[in-house]
Amino acid sequence: MTHISLTSADRKPAPLPLTNKGITLTFADNALLALLLGDHDRHVVKLEQGLGVKLSCRGNRMAIAGDPARVEAAHTAIIGLYRRLEKGEPVSPQDVDAAVRMSEVDNPRLPLSDLPAIRTRKGAIGPRSPGQAAYMELLAKHEMVFGLGPAGTGKTFLAVAQAVAMLTEGRVDRIVLSRPAVEAGERLGFLPGDLKEKVDPYLRPLYDALGDMMPGDMMKKRMDSGEIEVAPLAFMRGRTLKHAFVILDEAQNTTPVQMKMFLTRMGEGTRMVIAGDLSQIDLPQGARSGLRDALDTLEGLPGIGVCRFDKRDVVRHPLVARIVDAYDQRAAAEKDTRREARRNDATPR
């Protein structure tokens, strides 16, 4: 059993040799250790279940036992959470879940202290999964980024966070948020009210994301001044957007013509993020998604980044990840059934 003492000076503990069956960590601050363990050791339980190790605490010591690779992953997660507490940041159950995801045995993104962060008026926003970390790096480096994946992976939330951070820092002059007004089984003409009242329900998720990034009075002030604009995709036609951060949400529901129109609005000093889920296309039967068409055409071009999330990146309620997985498994089974049927039909009788 290896023993490691944690003091404020130990910023990056040395990697553990994989021959060890366990380690013991000694913490310098018992008060912080209590916060790390959580009420009734609920954080300990999450770490044990998520990383497949056994944690034992006595006094200011914590022993980690299990498979060597899992012990190292747990060591990394615990160190990262403890460093948060040392900096005066809280550790919530969601933070523990994020540490587990970021410290997976096959995850190369270590140590946690080197992960990217987006800083807004409401505090720093860090990644809660390996996919989010990769996405945040692309948002910082590329002028155009495609974010693809299931609901709950943070595609739109992190894009809006990056947009707000860049607006606050003066790196862009305005934010433009857009969505196609297409939803399953609904048409705008059947909805009550004027045009704004018809389209606002489709844009509500974008308003919600903005509200998470800045105080309500500031959000209203910037929207009134035109620094922040939320509009349906049709309103983008004929415009050239300069020095702006432009986000297209639910991009799977665009047609190829609409997508080309949107992408060519890009002007000098502009960043664009296109977010969508190709498994949730609400276009008429047989219509090709503009998101899929754009990826087939543009992926690999210099200046364009593509991030693909999967079920492991879902950071909403844990049940959401299981729901996504169940639908993916059913889709795969149906695909196999269709392939087998075509093979049988092609077999000479």
Domain coordinates in residue numbering, the chain: 2-114, 118-316, 319-349
Residue 175 pLDDT class (50, 70, 90 cuts): very high
pLDDT digits (tens, 9 = 90+) for 231-271: 888 888 889 999 999 999 999 999 999 999 999 999 999 99
The rounded distance, in Å, linking the Cα atoms of 11 and 14 is: 10
pLDDT at 63: 92
Return the CATH number of 2-114, one of 3.30.1370.10, 3.30.750.24, 2.40.70.10, 3.40.50.300.
Answer: 3.30.1370.10
Count CB-CB contacts under 10 A for residue 344. Answer: 9
Residue with the larger pLDDT of the pair 36 and 205: 36
At 286, list the tokens. 């047989």
Residue in 4, 113, 19, 121 with CA at minimum distance from that of residue 60: 4
CATH 3.40.605.10 describes domain 118-316: no
pLDDT digits (tens, 9 = 90+) for 184-194: 334 445 445 55
pLDDT digits (tens, 9 = 90+) for 129-165: 888 888 999 999 999 999 999 888 989 999 999 999 9
The rounded distance, in Å, linking the Cα atoms of 327 and 329 is: 5
The rounded distance, in Å, linking the Cα atoms of 276 and 272 is: 13
Residue 1 clears pLDDT 90, i.e. is over it: no
Beta carbons of 13 and 79 less than 8 angstroms apart: yes
The rounded distance, in Å, linking the Cα atoms of 47 and 331 is: 32
